[in-house]
Each structure stands twice: as C-alpha cells, then as structure tokens.
Amino acid sequence: MVHIPWTPSEIARAREVPLIQLLAHLCDFVKEDREYTPLDASRCSRRFQVNCRHRDFRLVLTGEKWVDELVPRDSDHRGGGGAIDLASYLTKSSFVQAVKLCLEAAEVASERR
C-alpha cells in the first residue's frame, strides 16, 4: 500500500492550481502561440510551446484540460485534466511528487501577491 502524505484539502488545493501558473513554475521556457485559433472559439483554448526538463511540448489548454499536440492523436497519453495530471506528465513524476510540485507552484504564486 502506498502512503500518500497529503491531506484531502492539500490535494484539492493542488488540483486548483491554474495550468498557466503551473507552467510558469515548472518550465524553463513557455511561449504562447498568439496566432493560434481554436476550432471552437467558444472553448477559449490557448496553445503554448514549452520546454520542461529538456523536453519539448506543444500544449493546448482549455480550462483545466490539456492536450500535447506533439503526441500522436491515437495515443492514450496525449492529454488529461488538472494541474496534478499536467505536473506528472511534464516531469514524469508520481502522484505524490506531482502534488508537491503543484503545492509549490501555489505557494510561489501566493508569495507574489
């Protein structure tokens, strides 16, 4: 059995970290594609080119959902939802490590306010 050192409220707080805030915290390079036009404009999707831990990603963020356009469309690991999932994907980390990264991102953001 795996011990999860986080309380349910800490996990909920980690899940609530805005994806763009998480990218700013984790990635060495983040650039929004200002010319990107989503197929459905009502969904307010945004595209970012990012580099995290020497790996490149082209992410489309729609609310709290994300897709990596560099992964083939038929892959099961092309996208997901929420900050914990994105942190795990970008850093190849476990759930426990991803929660820690998200909580760090939340802390950094609150210190800047």
Query: Quick count: other Cβ atoms within 10 Å of Cβ 69?
Result: 14
Q: So what's the architecture of 8-112 in CATH?
A: Alpha-Beta Complex (3.90)
Per-run averaged pLDDT (10 residues), the chain, 113 residues: 81 95 96 92 91 96 95 90 96 96 90 67
pTM of the model: 0.90
What is the spatial distance between Cα 67 and Cα 112, in angstroms, rounded to a whole number?
28
Report pLDDT for 23.
Answer: 97
Question: What does the alpha-carbon distance between residue 86 and residue 50 come to, in Å, rounded to a whole number?
Answer: 12
Q: What is the pLDDT of residue 101?
A: 97
**pLDDT for res 95:** 94
Q: What is the DSSP letter of 42?
A: G
